[in-house]
Chain A
Amino acid sequence: MFSYQKRLQYPINIKSKNIEMAKLLVTQYGGSNGELSAALRYLNQRYTMPDDRGKALLTDIGTEELAHVEMISTMIYQLLKDATVEEIKAAGLDPHYAEHKRALYPTDANGVPFTVAYFATTGDPLADLSEDMAAEEKARAVYENLIDLTDDEDIRGPLLWLRQREIVHFARFKELYDMYKKELKK
């Protein structure tokens, strides 16, 4: 089961609203390489990992991804909270406003809604872990794109931090992949 801790894994305190950035950042919430996709991918794949190392790692990284969903959601919430309708229109976010006002909704940066088609599971640990490694690399790349697109330190700080987590997760998945590759052959 899961329980909630009433704190962010890393603090988010964005002082200036920025509708444009909210519009872009949302892809790390509901886009194909986003945190929600990561969380569901690992938490779904964990059941059929071949041993306890894999079950533990996918459970723990999948759980951490939920904390990242919360961080990204918090960023979007804070960026949009005080936006006027005029500002929302000017940023081209009026379709979002029409459907959701200032509420969060998992889409990519183009407004395409989240879908579970973004991830796979094959029951083959090597295939699944390869997907997980690629997912971490893609999420890292998207964080770099987003870091390039902002000069607000309140936004960049958490993005740099989240990017670093993708690097650690990639390394852990690769370690496990390499061990399984050796061991499962025997």
Chain B
Amino acid sequence: MNNFNDFMYSNVPGMMTDPNMNTFDNDFMVGNSQNMNQNMNQNMDHLQLFDSYQGYMRGNMFQDLYDEYKNYKPQRLVGKDEQQERLLELSEVAFAAHDLNLYLDNFPNDKEAIKKFNEYRQKTNQLMEQYENMYGPLVISSNSLNTTPWAWVSSFPWEVNK
């Protein structure tokens, strides 16, 4: 049904993850075939997903699409307090749902992906509500907005969180 195999592009620069390749300048290296060998079967396991923690760290839920730059590892995200930890947890599952959302836009009949999406969506809604009850609203539809003073006018996300 879906043609996940069709886009195993081999001509995208920088597809290798072998840290040894880093010993010389690989700016123009063309896709390492080793990376392409992961067989994406069109059966039940066609979606090789990272878990939401690993996927969020990387910015990519899809193992076959993950493509490291040089030997840089994803940044390890650690919340400095309880609030930041809760926000990270929420962001993780929201991201996982979002990455599946993009995939499903192309393959709207993929039952397995819809199931996964809904797991992450439910978890996101649940963590969002918990977070908002403790730390204030993230969205204007939040139940936490029935207090005085108006809770929307506090803490914007571009301020440094030391």
Contacts and interface: CB of A to CB of B under 8 A. Distances in A.
Interface stretch (B40-48, B113-121, B152-160): B152-160
Shortest 3 CB-CB distances between A and B: which pairs? A157-B75, A164-B59, A161-B59
Contacts of A73: 158
B82 to A, nearest CB: 15
A74 B157 contact: yes
Interface string B1-38: 00100110100101000000000000000000000000
Contacts of B14: 140, 144
Interface residues of A, number: 51
B74 A157 contact: yes
Contacts of A3: 139-141
B72 A168 contact: no
A8 B105 contact: no
A11 B98 contact: no
Contacts of B66: 164, 167
A26 B62 CA distance: 29
Contacts of A174: 7, 9
Contact of B91 (A7, A74, A140, A157): A7
B72 A77 contact: no
A137 to B, nearest CB: 8
Given A5-B138, A11-B91, A57 B69 contact: no
A57 B72 contact: no
Interface of B: 3, 6-7, 9, 12, 14, 56, 58-60, 62, 65-67, 69, 72, 74-75, 77, 84, 87-88, 90-91, 95, 98-99, 101-103, 105-106, 108, 137-141, 152, 155-158, 160-162
Contacts of A52: 108
B7 A178 contact: yes
A60 B6 CA distance: 22
The binding surface of chain A is classed by DSSP as: helix
Interface string A1-16: 0011111111111110
Contact of B98 (A64, A157, A167): A64
B158 A78 contact: yes
B102 A60 contact: yes
A21 B13 CA distance: 25
A164 B58 contact: yes
Contacts of B84: 11
Given A164-B60, A167-B65, A61 B102 contact: yes
Given A6-B152, A64-B98, A164-B67, 13 more contacts: A8-B158, A10-B95, A11-B88, A57-B106, A64-B102, A81-B160, A144-B69, A165-B60, A167-B12, A168-B65, A175-B7, A178-B6, A179-B3
Contacts of B95: 9-10
A13 B106 CA distance: 34
A79 to B, nearest CB: 11
Nearest to A177: B7
